Amino acid sequence: MASVADGAILSRSDAETEQIGAGLAARLGPGSRVFLYGELGAGKTAFVRGLATGLGIDPEDVSSPTFTLVQEYRGGRLPLFHVDLYRLAAGEVDDLGLDALAADGVLAVEWAERMPRDDGGAIQVGLEHAGEDTRRITIDGDAR
């Protein structure tokens, strides 16, 4: 079971990371934006699978959109738009039209540090390695 230490949540498995994402998703509404930060393998996609679960979307449908850039998942109470900016430079991000996607559902952005400008209304989720299978997760911002 995930635990809290120093204001962060400690997850000891992908399943726990997904549960934390599902808990956040339960509080999200249309137009919510979740920006994910963390190194390769930190658990960003596992967290998005949790968001899918919390929105009533089959988490098995969720995969990292590194090569397609944007994945759209429907079938839950809100659509989930999953974006991976790993391969993009900041100037290329504007061409994706992310603002329009966010209006109708939940937008989850991996590698959000590549966003060209600050988005003060987004929920910021930081994931970092904290040991072998342990991840330290911080969540800042208010859910809509």
Q: Number of structural domains, the chain?
A: 1
DSSP string, 7-52: TEEEE-SHHHHHHHHHHHHTT--TT-EEEEE--TTSSHHHHHHHHH
The 10s digit of each residue's pLDDT in 8-67 is 899 999 999 999 999 999 999 999 999 999 998 899 999 999 999 999 999 998 987 666
**DSSP helix/strand/coil, 56:** coil
- Among 102, 121, 124, CA closest to 113: 124
The pLDDT tens digits of the residues spanning 56-101 come to 999 998 987 666 778 889 989 999 999 888 876 666 666 666 667 6
CATH of the domain at 97: 3.40.50.300
- CA–CA separation, 74 and 78 (whole Å): 7
User: How many Cβ atoms from other residues are within 10 Å of residue 38's Cβ?
Assistant: 21
**Contact assessment for residue 22 and residue 59, using Cβ atoms and an 8 Å cutoff:** no
Domain span at 54: 3-140
Residue 143 confidence (pLDDT): 64
Give CA–CA dist 124/18, Å, rounded.
Answer: 16
What is the band of 113 on the pLDDT scale with cuts at 50, 70, 90?
Answer: confident
Q: What is the 3-state secondary structure (H, E, C) of 104-118?
A: HCEEEEECHHHCCCC
pLDDT digits (tens, 9 = 90+) for 90-99: 666 666 666 6
Question: What pLDDT was estimated at residue 144?
Answer: 55
Residue 34 CB: number of other CB atoms within 10 A? 27
Q: Give the burial class of 102: count Cβ atoms within 10 A of its Cβ; 0-12 exposed, 13-18 middle, 19 or more buried.
A: buried
